[in-house]
Amino acid sequence: MAAAQKTALIMGVANRRSIAWACVQSFLSQNYRVVFTYQNERHESTALHLKGNHPNIHALPCNVEHEIPILFQEKIPELFGDNVSLNAIVHSIAFAPEIKTHSLLETSRHAFQVAHDVSTYSFLEMAQQALPLLHPGSSLTALSYLGAVKAMPHYNVMGPAKASLESVVRGLALELGSFRRDYHIRVNAVSAGPLNTLAARGIAGISDIRNDVTKRAPLKRNVTAEEVADTIFFLATQATGITGQTVYVDGGYSIVAGP
């Protein structure tokens, strides 16, 4: 009897350059059934174009500020039935409304709250809502960035938001590792180098950072979305002894100090 096809949920596809879309491709290459989410109707045509007619890709809208419960309680069960179980979830979502126009010192209370709500709390709420659908041995993986642990120019309020996200990853790893007998849910983060994505273009000076990577990173190049996605797949499906960790996929840039 053939084993049941495994299912991955990838949250946060914006376009073909998204790390999230590279994750869709990585999981598909290993015969996973993949559901991906996009933000709203403005992104629907792009999402449906990416999905095409592939039988193992499903696209669902999800504005993480208020639709996460609907995604897990209604949309995913409607798609697969009540017996659906998720083997891996990848969270690739971040937003800060003033990141290009205000320094950290100038950040408003509203921008601080939105950055943490969208970039951090959405991962926590995702875990809360996904719990009834998680398969034993499944995993949750978040996307982070070096600005969570280092003071990066122009990263502004997103730095504290990503630091909070990595802290949530560690806390959830502790709680979910043994929340139910034999389930052993793992929670990790991947800190990706600066890629040429829609999200990265929202950061002033991103080209300068990418150029600096080519000069100072041990590998002397920027990484690709595919390299990040393949690491996420490994962490999510094969690295069964790893949880609560932030793994850097940045060509070694994060280990270097000085010119």
Residues that are catalytic: 145, 155
Give the pLDDT band of residue 201 (cuts 50, 70, 90). Answer: low
Question: Which one-letter amino acid corresponds to residue 187?
Answer: V
Residues 40-84: tens digit of each pLDDT: 988 999 999 999 999 999 999 999 999 999 999 999 999 998 788
Q: Please give the pLDDT value at position 1.
A: 45
Average the pLDDT over each of 119-123, 187-191, 229-233, 253-257 and give the range with the smallest value.
253-257
pLDDT higher than threshold 70 for residue 198: no
Residue 148 and residue 146: Cα distance in Å, rounded?
5
Residue 134 and residue 185: Cα distance in Å, rounded?
8
pLDDT higher than threshold 60 for residue 2: no
Residues 101-139: tens digit of each pLDDT: 889 999 999 999 999 999 999 999 999 999 999 999 999
